[in-house]
């Protein structure tokens, strides 16, 4: 309680809590409005953050590098008669890559559309062919594909992990 007099709306002086309740009410309303504005602004920022920070899945370096290694392994297995693909390992790697993409914030439908896109497959195969060509393997050069495959298996790279030698 206060010892000071408070003047009401009609100019009459009031004592005690009657005058303070209006002041407290106004202060409470101001705090409530400020808190609602702060929470609204915070919610809008959190909703906008993933949309701004997430790059297109086709530009995600980790996803593209992993898929490229799978395309390279596939090309080696297709062109070398003494090397076979390890299909269960490849499936496991694809599942890990899908989990990674989901953790990054990509939707399941976005991942599915990317993986099943004919344009992305063609791009991946072209990059794999370029990578292999830089190392001396071109279609019709079976020995070069087999050599690169054996090297990758010996290095235990992801490409080598996805392949099995039948020699």
| CA–CA dist 133, 127 (Å, integer) | 10
- Residue 42 corresponds to which tokens in the numbers above? 């915070």
- Residue 145 corresponds to which tokens in the numbers above? 């594909």
Q: What is the mean pLDDT of residues 118-142?
A: 94
- Torsional class of 138: left (φ above 0), alpha (ψ -120 to 50), beta (otherwise): beta
Phi, psi torsion values for 12, nearest 5 degrees: -75, 145
| CA–CA dist 109, 105 (Å, integer) | 12
Residue 35 predicted with pLDDT over 80: no
In total, the chain counts a number of residues equal to: 167
pLDDT at 160: 95
Contact, 131 vs 68, CB < 8 A? yes
Residue 55 predicted with pLDDT over 70: yes
pLDDT at 48: 56
Sign of torsion, CA 141 142 144 145? positive
- Higher-confidence residue of 47 and 51: namely 47
Q: What is the mean pLDDT of residues 119-134?
A: 95
Q: What is the mean pLDDT of residues 116-120?
A: 94
């Amino acid at each position: 309680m206060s010892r000071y007099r408070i003047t009401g709306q009609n100019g009459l002086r009031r004592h005690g809590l009657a005058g303070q309740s209006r002041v407290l009410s106004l202060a409470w309303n101001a705090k409530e409005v400020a808190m609602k504005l702060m929470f609204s602004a915070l919610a809008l920022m959190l909703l906008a953050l993933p949309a701004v920070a997430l790059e297109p899945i086709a530009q995600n370096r980790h996803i593209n590098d992993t898929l490229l290694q799978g395309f390279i392994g596939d090309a080696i297995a297709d062109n070398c008669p003494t090397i076979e693909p390890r299909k269960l390992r490849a499936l496991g790697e694809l599942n890990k890559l899908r989990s990674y993409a989901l953790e990054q914030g990509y939707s399941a439908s976005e991942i599915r559309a990317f993986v099943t896109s004919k344009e992305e497959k063609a791009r991946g195969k072209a990059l794999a062919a370029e990578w292999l060509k830089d190392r001396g393997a071109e279609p019709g050069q079976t020995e070069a594909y087999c050599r690169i495959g054996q090297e990758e298996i010996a290095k235990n790279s992801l490409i080598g992990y996805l392949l099995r030698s039948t020699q």
